Structure formats: structure tokens, C-alpha cells
Structure 1
């Protein structure tokens, strides 16, 4: 499946590359939340995180870690947001696995928040039962 990100990865669409290997690559986001906002993108167009092999996820997270460190060192970011919009209902715009790394600064006014909910009485243990992982 051809996506915007496969075209960028092949060099058909220009980008500012930050990292590249056989499993993933990293670029600056063209519409950043803050300057330095980067994307780590799988080479293969896995639509969601669950479909990507562990080897790819491990490499992507290593690149995320290194870029987060660079943002703190070089941009003097005080923190970073690490975000995966994992499917259309989560706000994923390109059906190709990618991770956002956003440099954050005190009082940058770019809060990321959602309306929080509460569980009904007795409901939380039911969700725990549904989601509990018993073996990897």
C-alpha cells in the first residue's frame, strides 16, 4: 500500500531527515506543534502499532528515545510528548505507523488534554478483567 509516508521514505516527496535505516526513518513534521516536532515512521506501511513486528517497534522506540534526548540537549526542551495516534478513531491521519515527538517548553501554551471520565461504581474491575495481560 502506497502512503504519503512511503513516498517520503523513497525520497519522492522532500523532507528534512533526522535518521534513516532499513526499518524506520525520522523527519521533521511539516506542521509542527512546536519547532523541532519530529515523526519516527516505519519503512513498511503498517497501518497500526499492533500490525508492526516487534523488531520494528523496538527500533522506532530507540530512535524516539534518542530524538527526545536531542530535543532536550539541542533545543533546550524541558519535556517531550511522545504520541501514537493508533487508528482513525484516535486521530491518525495517515494509515502508516508513525510516532510524534514534540519538544515542550514551560508555558508554551500547547497543552494536550482530553475530557476525563469516571468509572461507574464497580465498573473499573470489569475493565481490568478485560484488559489484564497474563502472559507475553
Structure 2
């Protein structure tokens, strides 16, 4: 988590990061597992007030961000 958060600051030029974890059915989990969400943060981004703006994005929309993060993490391009 720390490595990804640090790489996000490099890749996206964000001012900080936030992390979240959701567990068990009341937390929206159907299958028990541990995962952590790491969000890039910018001043006044209103991240937690923008739920109505959320939408699923296509792989093509995500790819530039994934490429930047992969580069900052120094992962091979074939990493899946």
C-alpha cells in the first residue's frame, strides 16, 4: 500500500493519497478477502462528496493511468 501510494504521487503529481478498506457483507463484500483502495488526492477534490459522479470507465480510459503507475512502480509492461 505504501509503495503504491508513493508511486501515485510520482505518476500523477497528486498532493497526497487516501486509503480505504471495505470488509464483510455490511462493507459491500460478497467474498471474504483483503483488498485496499488507494486514491490519489488533490486539494479540494471533494472525493467523498462525488459519489453521484462515479461511473465505470473503459479499459482504454484507464490505460494511460495504469501505464503511468506501472512506470512509477517500475513494473514490466507485460505485468497483468
CA drift of 1:93 comes to: 5.0
Name the structure 2 match of 1:71.
8
Name the structure 1 match of 2:38.
101
Residues paired across the two proteins, number: 49
Q: Secondary structure at the match of 2:48?
A: coil
In structure 1, the gaps of 5 or more residues are: 1-63, 113-136
Matches within 5 A, 1:80-119: 80-111=17-48
Q: Which has the higher helix share?
A: 2
Query: RMSD in angstroms over aligned alpha carbons?
Result: 1.9
Q: Which has the higher strand share?
A: 1
CA drift of 1:96 comes to: 2.4
Name the structure 2 match of 1:18.
none
Matches within 5 A, 1:1-136: 64-111=1-48
Q: Does the C-alpha gap of structure 1 residues 98 and 107 become closer, same or farther in structure 2, counting only changes over 3 Å?
A: same
- Give a deviation string over 1:84-109, Cα, whole Å, max 9, x none: 10212123355322111111111222
- Give a deviation string over 1:40-94, Cα, whole Å, max 9, x none: xxxxxxxxxxxxxxxxxxxxxxxx1011001111211111111110212123355
